[in-house]
Amino acid sequence: MKFKVAQCWDDGVYTDIRLIGILREYGAKATFNLNPGNAPEETRGTSWGRFCEPPKHWGYRGFDAGKIAVKDWKRVYAGFKVASHCWKHEVADRVPAGEFVEAAVKARKLLEDIFETSCPGFAWPCGISTPETVKLLKEAGFAYGRTTRNVDDVTACRETLTLDSNCHFADNKFREKYMRVREQGGIFYFWGHSYEMMDCEGLWDQLEQKIRFISEDPDAEWVDVIDLVPYCGK
């Protein structure tokens, strides 16, 4: 029996376009966690802003990853699952619980309108949840909520609204963790942001090697994050 591999990526950044090209080349599934309130009216490319004062946009180590406009989401993310990442990346312990859940639901409804399908997934901004927001998201009909915690066994999760992953995509022990789960026939789940590879060809090459390795593994099966839910929360 094949073991399952899932991945998700956050924030709807311009570098997702390059990432998606790699995923499509190797037939890899992925879920993209999007926050509509942070999207620009027009899709904006990437640039280095290390020496710009003040920076025009939020950046990662001086790299402005750009953003994909909402009007382009259906085309860019065609064939992939999408999930709510709140409206403007609201963080659960920094805003009132009601306001937080309203933002999560608002984003979900827009995604469902755009992609014309159910989008019951969620990714906690900054990986932060609270008991109250977990309860409210469950009542709102969300099937899972991804944290940023790393665990050895994803299926050990007892609450799918706080679903942990095995590791970040750039984890130094990525291959080791993958092989351990592979040997156990379990589920391997990783996440990240495509902007973390910036425009560094070496980092993009490393990610492509990982995707290719998994896709060529005869014992591995790419699945969507939503497909993990039946195996967790038991």
The pLDDT value given to residue 234: 67
Return the pLDDT at 223.
Answer: 98
- Of the candidates 207, 228, 218, 215, the one whose C-alpha atom is nearest the C-alpha of residue 9 is 207
Mean pLDDT by 10 residues, the chain (234 residues): 92 97 98 96 80 59 90 98 98 98 98 98 98 98 97 94 97 97 95 96 97 97 97 82
* 82 close to 107: Cβ distance less than 8 angstroms: no
Is 3 in contact with 188 (CB distance < 8 Å)?
yes
Q: Which ranges of the chain does DSSP label H, i.e. alpha helix?
A: 16-25, 70-76, 97-115, 131-139, 174-184, 201-216
Give the number of other Cβ atoms within 10 Å of residue 136's Cβ.
20
- The total domain count for the chain is 1
Query: To the nearest 5 percent, what fractions of the chain are helix, strand and coil?
Result: 40, 20, 40
pTM for this model (two decimals): 0.95
* Residue 215, domain extent: 3-231
What long-range pairs does 212-217 form, CB within 8 A, spacing at least 24? Answer: 212/26, 213/175, 214/5, 214/26, 214/28, 214/178, 215/26, 215/27, 215/28, 217/182
What's the CATH code of the domain at 175? 3.20.20.370
